[in-house]
């Protein structure tokens, strides 16, 4: 194992910020009460949750009462879809071919429960086919779910256009913003978003915590039953340390978001420009309207997994596609959906940065990458 790992796998998870860790720690050993308890330790915990809820709500421009804390993006996606499908006499979900498995597998489960799902195609850059989407909608659609930014190729969708189409057909609009939250400009009021999912560990907060925004007035049913926490929508004793961490991480991100996005874009573009000079390299996904921290390439004559392992040995953490399917030897469904064949898809490398990456990190990667690619081609 190398003594120092330069981390370029931030779409998979992020380092908990030191300030976030400091904010969390007292809620393990000092303010450890159950927030439902009516004593001072319980009151302290409940107050911490209220403050975190306000911070997350401010980051999305919604009311604190519209935020439900969950265990992460997957649970939030499950709750958003399964909690509304079938209501108002509408039993169909429409989503895209490049969604995270948390959406696609939830659609599959909805179908097993007697509902229906439709999958809209995307173009070669991962953008939703708008005419196809409009044709696919109808008065039987309960919810349209389109991710804010793709976790594999970084495509940023037009959320206002997606919500306009959903609302034109009387459907709700949900977006999985797990990748986009804090890294793109999202305002649930301005953008017409009805439900939105986020995950703590993608924004420098701990794993195992997330949130779902649900616009006031939407009829939604729980998928977890028990003590009635989170206003009856998400039973289970709250993960107070995780929630505190998500609130703190959101505060920090919002305070410097514009500058962080600008700086990450500069580093992202340096990576893209340099890598595309390598023989046989191509960019997967769009050059414009791309998430500020995402790059994704394919390399002729290279196996992506081999390249990740060689870079790991050289001290760089990267990935091929989604960490949720990183162990699979099958091509990413996202890369297949944008028209790549199996060989192209399996020759891919994802490099994702965060606010913690430096120019020095990028320089080191760009020096090591051609060497690793050549080694893969020669083996």
Residue with tokens 């996904």: 285
Instruction: Yes or no: say if 117 and 261 are a contact pair by the CB < 8 Å rule.
Output: no
User: Would residue 107 show up in a list of annotated catalytic residues for this protein?
Assistant: no
CA–CA separation, 309 vs 321, rounded Å?
Answer: 14
**Catalytic one of 29, 62, 107, 324:** 324
Residue 141 DSSP SS3:
strand
Is 98:126 a contact under the CB 8 Å cutoff?
yes
Where would I find the H helices in the chain? Answer: 18-24, 26-29, 40-60, 73-82, 101-112, 130-136, 159-168, 240-255, 257-275, 304-313, 333-337, 342-345, 359-378
Q: To 5 degrees, how large is the angle CA 64–CA 69–CA 73?
A: 120
Q: What share of the chain is helix, strand, coil (3-state, %, to 5)?
A: 40, 15, 40
Q: How large is the angle between the packed helices 257-275 and 240-255, nearest 10 degrees?
A: 80
User: What is the secondary structure of 3-44 as a DSSP string?
Assistant: S--EE-BTTT--PPPHHHHHHHTHHHHTS---TTSSSHHHHH
Tokens 């929630």, located at residue: 243
Which residues are marked as active site? 324
């Amino acid at each position: 194992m190398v003594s120092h790992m330069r981390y370029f796998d931030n779409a998979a998870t992020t380092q908990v910020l030191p300030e976030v860790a400091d904010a969390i720690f007292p809620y393990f050993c000092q303010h450890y009460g159950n927030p439902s308890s009516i004593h001072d330790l319980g009151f302290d915990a409940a107050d911490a949750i209220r403050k975190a809820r306000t911070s997350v709500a401010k980051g999305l421009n919604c009311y604190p009462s519209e935020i439900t804390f969950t265990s992460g993006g997957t649970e939030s996606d499950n709750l958003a879809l399964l909690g509304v499908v079938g209501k108002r006499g509408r039993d169909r979900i429409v989503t895209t071919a490049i969604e995270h498995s948390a959406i696609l597998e939830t659609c599959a489960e909805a179908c097993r429960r007697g509902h229906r799902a439709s999958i809209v195609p995307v173009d070669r850059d991962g953008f939703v086919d708008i005419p196809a989407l409009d044709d696919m909608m109808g008065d039987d659609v309960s919810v349209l779910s389109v991710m804010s930014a793709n976790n594999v190729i970084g495509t940023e969708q037009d959320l206002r256009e997606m919500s306009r189409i959903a609302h034109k057909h009387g459907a709700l609009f949900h977006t999985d913003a797990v990748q986009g939250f804090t890294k793109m400009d999202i305002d649930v009021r301005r953008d017409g978003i009805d439900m939105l999912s986020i995950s703590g560990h993608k924004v420098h907060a701990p794993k195992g915590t997330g949130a779902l925004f649900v616009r006031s007035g939407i009829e939604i049913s729980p998928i977890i039953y028990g003590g009635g926490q989170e206003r009856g929508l998400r039973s289970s004793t709250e993960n107070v340390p995780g929630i505190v961490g998500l609130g703190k991480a959101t505060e920090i991100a919002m305070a410097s978001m514009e500058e962080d996005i600008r700086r990450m874009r500069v580093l992202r573009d340096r990576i893209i420009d340099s890598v595309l000079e390598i023989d046989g390299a191509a960019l997967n996904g769009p050059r414009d309207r791309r998430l500020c921290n995402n790059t994704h390439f394919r390399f002729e004559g290279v196996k992506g997994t081999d390249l990740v392992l060689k870079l790991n040995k050289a001290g760089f953490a990267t990935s091929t596609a989604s960490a949720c399917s990183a162990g699979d030897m099958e091509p990413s469904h996202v890369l297949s959906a944008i028209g790549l064949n199996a060989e192209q898809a399996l020759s891919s490398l994802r490099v994702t940065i965060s606010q913690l990456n430096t120019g020095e990190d990028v320089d080191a990667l760009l020096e090591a990458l051609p060497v690793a690619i050549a080694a893969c081609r020669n083996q």
